[in-house]
Amino acid sequence: MKIKLDILYYILLIFPFIKPNYIIHIDSLNKVYNAFQIINFIIILVVFVKKSKINLQLFLIIILQAILIFSTVINNGEIIDVITNSIQIFAFSLIIEYLTQKNINLFFKAISIILIVLVVLNYITILIQPDGYLIGYLKKWLFGTKNNHFSIILPAIICSYIYFKFIKKCNSVIFKILLVVSIASVIFLQSATTLVAMFVLLLYFPLKNIIKKINIKNFFVIYCIIFFVIIVFQLQNIFSFFIEDVLNKDVTFTGRTELWNTSLEFIKDKPLLGYGNENQDNRVVKFGKLSYIHCHNMILEILYQGGIILLIVFIIFLYNVIKKISITQNNDLKSLGLWTLIVYSIALFTEVYSFEVLLWMLLVLSNINRIKFLDEEIYNE
């Protein structure tokens, strides 16, 4: 009975902060989510202050948000939005830190339940409305536009796999259903970036023994080289065969090279602190196209919003995540955590996920090393 009450407590604390994009367009439901977020923030503040301390990861998240707020203020941007988002991120970060310290087994069970339900519901919206629901000039499903789905699908697969494989130690039919539904969703949406990222993610399962040998530092060195080759110097003709024949895309990455050029020009004008959180309509006017509401590359987006200073702090945060994953004693779990970072890097090369949906999963990954300290017989299910 106690475990059932505990899992309900965990779910109620977590679910308001994993808000599907479409919810913001349903005013009454959005208000319910927001009310729960406020209540949970108050609860976690009281509990966290009494029982826990601000660690380096939480401190870096605070610094990241402080930089964004400061940049937004000096640029007369969307101040209320950036403060609201920062509070949401800080609240969910506190919840993740508190719950993973208290009982990481229950945390992964709770978050897996939430994410699995959301992925299935999202797939149902795809089946019901294959062409999407027109919001403004964009077609959206429960998870938003087709390029945003993977920001929830990836955490769903990783968190549920960690729970079923490493905590419950079982072959779960539920996880297999999640995998099938996730793959079906990605194939239907036909987002080239998401298809590639999903393919790379799925390579983990048959090739995990080989993946264990991959050096994450070498990967990021290569990643930085590719960033400069394609994004900055735009020498992508070297990869024209893969881009045109395999991905069936042109070498401009569906017009992204033009956007990257424009983004770089803006970044050069404000390299230190960027432009902060801007109104989307303003960004459309500045960049000249309706679809250009972000830089379609996470590094460029970080530089655009918070400049070099924000990028440096984010790199420190990411380095600390890698460091924490690397001390995980279970080699399979460690390789899964590092592989997840690689998959994120690939997905974010031509897409952008908001800090609300990116930072919390990175924070979760930085805590997987705690699993080894828990009693594996905690559940009797």
Look at residue 195 in the predicted model and tell me its pLDDT: 92
Are 332 and 166 within 8 A, CB to CB? yes
What parts of the chain have a pLDDT lower than 50? Answer: 373-381
Tokens of 312: 């440096």
CA distances (Å), origin 61, targets 4, 70, 280? 32, 14, 24
* Count of other CB atoms within 10 angstroms of residue 151: 23
Three-class SS state of 190: coil
Q: What was the pLDDT predicted at 131? A: 86
Tell me which H or E stretch contains 139.
strand 138-140
Q: CA-CA distances (angstroms) from residue 118 to 95, 113, 219, 222?
A: 20, 9, 32, 35
Q: Are 214 and 338 in contact (CB under 8 A)?
A: yes
pLDDT at residue 192, rounded to an integer = 84
Write down the pLDDT at residue 234: 75
Determine the 3-state secondary structure of 140 from DSSP: strand
Q: pLDDT value at position 375?
A: 47
- Asked if 82 and 310 touch (Cβ cutoff 8 Å), the reply is no
Looking up tokens 């990481």 gives 104
pLDDT at 3: 58
What is the residue extent of each domain of the chain?
A: 2-373
Q: What residues form DSSP beta bridges with 133?
A: 140
Residue 331 CA, chain-centre distance (Å), reads 23
- Return the pLDDT at 284: 78
- The residue behind tokens 């997905």 is 347
